[in-house]
Structure formats: structure tokens, C-alpha cells
Amino acid sequence: MSVTPEPGSPISEIFKEAFGHHPAGVAIITADSEEGPVGLTASSVTSISASPAILGFSLAAQRGSAAHVAEAETFLVHLLDAENVELAKTFATHGSSRFDDSMGWEALPTGEPLLTDVRRVLRCRPLTKAQAGPALVFTAEVLEATRHDLSGTPLVYHHRTFHSLGENTYVI
């Protein structure tokens, strides 16, 4: 039988440090809700399967934008580039102004809010939701690529900071 480490326990701290050192891609997940468009920055988005196209992610909170995304019938996953770092910061900051006149966005005919400055966007439908400690873990079917432009400089999250991968990146 395994035991779940308590927050603040030595293994919990080691786990946070280990994953803080592990870079992750950055995405913004947006959805329409009864209160209007919502969105949040996520570094947990990962590819599950290419055929059929399935991705996964987790939400750490079950209130605010995360709660609305969790209840949405469909949502958009915006895969960010370094050029989108200000969007990433905006959607990662609690209480920040989102979907106002200064932000480039539009509602798709299906209702989801599309951030117009993002090059790669996937429209998804949730398949499964599972409670995992305080998080909710999703798998989602990719219904379509709303945008598919492979230019741009990759953006990663590492040591609680956004970084771009550029000319100084080594290919091994």
C-alpha cells in the first residue's frame, strides 16, 4: 500500500524541486462559459496519442477559470511560442484583465475564445476527468487544428520562469 506524501513533506519538496528543474511547454486553455470567455496558462499539456489525436493536462484548482474549463463541452489549447510570453503571464496571473479590447481574440463559430496571436491552436473535447490529489487530470480528443503554423520560437517553463529556445539551443 502506498501513502500519499503530505504537502511540505520531504518527498513533496523533492518532487517540486525535481519538476521545477524539468522544462515544460507552455499553453493557454480557453473556453466559453456562462460568465463569458475564460482561460488559464498550463504547463502540464502533453501528447497522449497521435492516432487518435489525444492530449492530456491537469488543473490544480477547481475554482475560477479552471472550474469553467473543467465544465466546458469543448475548449481550445493554444500552444505558445516565446513571442506569446506576455499572454502566458497574463493568463497565469490571478485577477489579470483577459479578453478585453487590448487583447487580440475572437469567438469561434463554435463559441470558444481564440487568441489570434497564437500560431498553433487545437480544438478539443474532454474524454476523461480524474481526481488526483488536489488536481483534476484530463484527457481530451483533438477535434481539429484551428491554427497550424509551425514558425515561431519555442517557449518553455523552467524553474518557475518562462524561457525561449533559440539559437543557443544545442541539437544532440
Work out the average pLDDT over 64-70: 88
Of 76, 78, 80, 62, nearest in space to 125 by CA: 76
Residue whose C-alpha cell reads 492530449 in the numeric block: 55
Strand order in the sheet with 24-25: 24-25, 155-158, 161-164
Q: Where are the beta strands (DSSP E) in the chain?
A: 24-25, 27-33, 36-42, 46-49, 54-59, 75-79, 105-107, 113-115, 120-132, 135-148, 155-158, 161-164
**What does the pLDDT look like over 78-111, one tens digit per residue?**
999 999 999 999 999 988 889 988 899 999 999 9
Q: What is the value of pTM for the model shown?
A: 0.89
